[in-house]
Amino acid sequence: MDVLVVGGGGREHSLVKKLAESEQVATIYAAPGNAGVETLATCVGIKDDEIDALVAFAQDHKIDWTIVGPEVPLNAGIVDAFQQVGLNVFGPTKQAALIEGSKDFAKSFMKKYAIPTADYQTFTNASEAKQYIEAKGAPIVVKADGLAAGKGVVVAQTVIEALDAVDQMLVGNQFGDAGSRVVIEEFLDGNEFSLMAFVDGEHVYPMLPARDHKRAFDGDKGPNTGGMGAYCPVPDLQAQEIEFAVEHILHPTAKGMVEEGRSFTGILYAGLIETPQGPKVIEFNARFGDPETQVVLPLLKNDLLQVITDVTSGKDPALEWKDAYCIGTVVASKGYPGKYQKQVPLPRLEESDDCFVIHAGTGSDPSGAYCATGGRVLLVGSLQASQRQAQQAVYEYLRIFDENDDFFYRSDIGFNQKQVIDS
């Protein structure tokens, strides 16, 4: 079969890499792809939000399956457009993708279906939002309602910080329409983890849980980013916590979406936090997580395309997992998640026996050498028998960046805070 992967980041490189293992796949196309994807797929000069052009390409090239990576085209209705002309596409419809596209919708949905999450209020008026913050105190969480590329969340440790976030979103229009409404949430203190699942209607097939590091700097300091690294599985996560999340969060969410007339097909991502009352939802995504996908898919034994075919035809894909650990650390451009330079040359990147490299924001110059084109540039990952071995392999590889001031990475991915302090 010929497959089209929509998107051009690290998640999509991971999808392409996994699909390339399938004996069922003949040709892989990626739109737009990136410099790393080019080694495994034919990159197409169509942006991920150019839906009409993507539909036309899939028709012209008789694409058997299209897999959509990013949230923007999903929320713009790419799945609906493909389905209207009879093309196979994996992802939620525009109506179903709203569970990620609007935090206000997601929170009201969870309240209706008794899905555990933090208390909240939604505001469009800055002064009312500020009164609420002053009444509740800090720490408190301020979120842009819409899509903000993983940067629309401020975990405010002080009231002043929270009030400033409201000003930036509602008054300063920092995130455009995405920030014209804000959700202000109770702060939950605990260990976070991500749980993704293949979903079709009420059928839910969970993957292994992973843990993402959102803050830019070591020790979970600095601004929120799209993710600075992840690891899978999560050794300190108890089996009963996972079972609780599947039973009380994933299954009720899938069933509730059907009842709402928004039946969900695709990848449901639950960003969760452990609390004394059990896991609670921080956020839902309507697609593979990034960078979680980069460390979860290498552990999947199954043929990814077969899983998608099974799930969408009502068959249990019987997911199987390797007994191993996978850790990935993101290399980012200096200044990220703020302003950063582009077209900065990268050191020579080669996969080793111990590590793999997933490209995210990369391109190539006329000589074919890699350069950075985005904030999160790449991820170095390792699949090993133990968590410690995977950490050691990744950080040994990353030494090639240690003398380069144009890039940075966290040195504590896969370590809990006690390990960081002790080291």
Q: From the options 3.40.50.2300, 3.40.50.20, 3.40.50.410, 3.40.225.10, give the CATH code of 2-93.
A: 3.40.50.20
What three-state secondary structure class fits 372?
strand
Using only C-alpha atoms, the chain has a radius of gyration, in whole angstroms, of: 21
The CATH topology of domain 125-180 is Dna Ligase; domain 1 (3.30.1490)
pLDDT digits (tens, 9 = 90+) for 194-242: 999 999 999 999 999 999 999 999 999 998 888 999 999 999 999 999 9
Q: Inform me whether the pLDDT recorded for 293 exceeds 80.
A: yes
What three-state secondary structure class fits 140?
strand
Strand partners, 384: 325
CA nearest to 225, candidates 122, 331, 140, 75: 331
Q: Inform me whether the pLDDT recorded for 420 exceeds 50.
A: no
- Lowest-confidence region among 106-115, 368-377, 413-422: 413-422
The CATH topology of domain 325-422 is Glycinamide Ribonucleotide Synthetase; Chain A, domain 4 (3.90.600)
State what percent of residues in the chain have pLDDT above 90: 87
pLDDT level of residue 421 (50, 70, 90 thresholds): very low
Q: 154 versus 204: which is more confidently predicted? A: 204
Q: Inform me whether the pLDDT recorded for 32 exceeds 70.
A: yes
Q: How far apart are CA 137 and CA 258, in angstroms?
A: 37
Model pLDDT, residue 419: 37
What three-state secondary structure class fits 155?
strand
Model pLDDT, residue 91: 98
Average pLDDT estimate for 257-284: 96
Model pLDDT, residue 416: 60
Domain formed by 192-312, architecture: 2-Layer Sandwich (3.30)
C-alpha distance from residue 1 to each of 28, 61, 265, 306 (Å): 9, 11, 21, 11
Average pLDDT estimate for 158-170: 93
pTM: 0.92
Mean pLDDT of the chain, nearest integer = 94
pLDDT level of residue 150 (50, 70, 90 thresholds): low
Q: Is 77 exposed, middle or buried (0-12, 13-18, 19+ CB in 10 A)?
A: middle
Tokens 């040994």 correspond to 396
Strand partners, 230: 212, 328
- Lowest-confidence region among 171-180, 187-196, 265-274, 294-303: 171-180
Q: Which long-range contacts (CB under 8 A, 24 or more apart) does 311-320 make?
A: 311/198, 311/199, 311/200, 311/203, 311/205, 311/265, 312/88, 312/90, 312/200, 312/265, 314/200, 314/203, 316/203, 316/205, 317/198, 317/205, 319/198, 319/205, 319/206, 319/207
In angstroms, how far is CA 175 from the centroid of its own chain? 19
Q: How far apart are CA 349 and CA 357, in angstroms?
A: 8
Q: Which two tokens stand for residue 311?
A: 């799930």
In angstroms, how far is CA 97 from the centroid of its own chain? 14
Dihedral-angle region of residue 65 (phi above 0 means left; psi in -120 to 50 means alpha; beta otherwise): beta
Model pLDDT, residue 172: 85
Which ranges constitute the DSSP H helices of 61-119? 71-76, 78-84, 94-101, 103-112
pLDDT level of residue 177 (50, 70, 90 thresholds): confident
Q: Which two tokens stand for residue 108?
A: 């009201």
Q: Inform me whether the pLDDT recorded for 337 exceeds 50.
A: yes
> Which residues 6+ apart lie within 8 Å of 386 measured at CB?
325
pLDDT level of residue 17 (50, 70, 90 thresholds): very high
Query: Would you call the peptide bond into 139 cis, given omega within 30 degrees of 0 as the criterion?
Result: yes
pLDDT digits (tens, 9 = 90+) for 349-376: 888 889 999 999 999 888 889 999 999 9
Q: Inform me whether the pLDDT recorded for 330 exceeds 50.
A: yes
Q: How far apart are CA 240 and CA 209, in angstroms?
A: 13
Identity of residue 379: L
- Lowest-confidence region among 30-44, 63-77, 216-230: 216-230
Q: Which two tokens stand for residue 398?
A: 């990353």
The full set of domain ranges for the chain reads: 2-93, 125-180, 192-312, 325-422
Model pLDDT, residue 370: 94
pLDDT level of residue 178 (50, 70, 90 thresholds): confident
Q: Inform me whether the pLDDT recorded for 35 exceeds 70.
A: yes
pLDDT digits (tens, 9 = 90+) for 406-415: 999 999 998 7
Q: Inform me whether the pLDDT recorded for 173 exceeds 60.
A: yes
